[in-house]
Structure 1
Amino acid sequence: MKRKIFLGSIFIIVGIGLLLQQIGFWDFGQVISTWWPLILIAVGVGNLFADSDSKTLGIILILLGAWFQMRELNIITHSIIRYFWPLLIIAIGISILLPRGSRNLDYKFSGKETTEDLVDNITLFSGVKTRNISKNFRGGSLTAIFGGIDMDLKDANISSGNASLNITVAFGGIDISVPPGWKVVVKGIPIFGGWSNKTNNINYVNLEGPVLTINCFVIFGGVDVKN
């Protein structure tokens, strides 16, 4: 819900800014061209306070936003800017090599547990890991924009026989784990992306049991469904 409020607020602010430009209050394009790095900083701060497995992305976004903002305000000179990308690549490499506390060697679940029958998850420049143990799971919607969602449904149950998930992925990825007895149907529109159904009951036509239908819209991303 917090992410939906944040994303909706961004659209409202941009809309108000464009409206004020139309009535001659200011040049919104000039404001955006100068202060756009504050958006990166705001998203990074939001990531630090979100239920996410890692805060690394939030810190990176804040640093990127601060760097670009200082450049727009001419606080950083051109001679310093040329060192930015090499230093960023080095930092990413160090981040990959460093051990992460969120990796559990005993494979115990370390995310958020929920009993919602209908899910509504949105990730924006971040990641979230959840386990749903609903006894009457009916589906819902998952949206990952420049981020990822890892949803564990292995302990959930579809009592009504059918459930439907609407998935939107843009420059991100969504992983879904389902019980072995579920039949999974994946369909939708891929644009420079795709999905993978690795469940046991891919040939679901002559099988009995609950059915999970996943409707995907994927652009520059991927969806992975497995047992």
Structure 2
Amino acid sequence: MNRKTASEIVAGIFVIALGMLTLFKALFGWTLDISAASFWALVIMAVAITSIIHRGVRFYNVVFLIIGGWIIINDLGLLGRHTFLTLVAIIIIAFGMWIVYNAVKASVVGNSTSADMNDFIHFSNSFNNVKIANSSKSFKGGHITSTFGTITIDLSQIAIQSNAIIDISATFGSIIIIMPRNIPYRTDVTPVFGTFINNAPIVPPTNGLPFLMIKGSTVFGTCTLK
């Protein structure tokens, strides 16, 4: 979607919002006075809506949209006591809905795998489910990070010319690595309230031959070798 179309959509949404406020004034006597807080809340919501249109639904832009809406509703006097606690509760509910959304999305598009041929990988995933297959014939290692999401890396087709190190970090997330069957490997993963599971076939290191090293940490997360 181009910027012109996105801008027109945002403008249309605010015209609809203005019409609804006018309707509510006519029906319920609500005031149309816009305070500084409501003005900036509208700006925050505009940025969030534009981000959703351009980048799709993300947890952060949904949170900004909720915060903007909460400020306006609170400014209208529609929230009672414990307004901050109400905002926290709404964000927690949104986070739970986001987890469910990602689970459903993963079940629908779970077979979609992105191809990659880079010798050095750098994958970072948050609040999503990602599958990548690397087929580099001169693989050198890299970094894999997962936060509140799942990332699956298929390395079964790689080849290495020298020792390769993969540094992993799973924080409230999951990393799954499908290991090559003919390359020796070593592991040095430290679980911190997390788990490290090695279900890959054992290919012990051989003197003089390069090996693959998997190292890093799992903090309330999981790393699984297959």
Q: Where do residues 1-227 of structure 1 align in structure 2 (5 Å cutoff)?
A: 45=51, 49=55, 58-59=57-58, 61-73=60-72, 74=74, 77-78=79-80, 81=86, 84=90, 100-104=107-111, 110-160=112-162, 162-201=163-202, 204=204, 211-226=211-226
Unaligned runs of 5+ in 1: 1-33, 50-54, 105-109
Larger RCO (CA under 8 A, 6+ residues apart): 1
TM-score scaled by length of structure 1:
0.60
| 1:150 counterpart SS class | strand
| Distance change >3 Å, CA 90–CA 169, structure 1 → 2 | closer
Structure-1 separation of matches of 2:124 and 2:106? 27
Distance (whole Å) between structure 2 residues aligned to residue 135 and residue 77 of structure 1: 60
Gaps (5+ residues) in structure 2? 1-39
Letter in 2 for 1:144: S
Higher helix proportion, which one? 2
Identical aligned residues as a percent: 24
Change (3 A) 1:46 1:88: closer
Q: Name the larger-Rg structure.
A: 2
> Alpha carbons of 1:91 and 1:100: their partners in 2 closer, same or farther (altered >3 Å)?
same
CA 1:209–1:172 in structure 2 vs 1: closer, same or farther (change >3 Å)?
Answer: same
Equivalent residues, number: 175
**2:106 and 2:129 in contact (8 A); partners too:** no
User: 2:62 and 2:191 mapped to 1: Cα distance?
Assistant: 33
Distance 1:94 1:88 in 2: 10
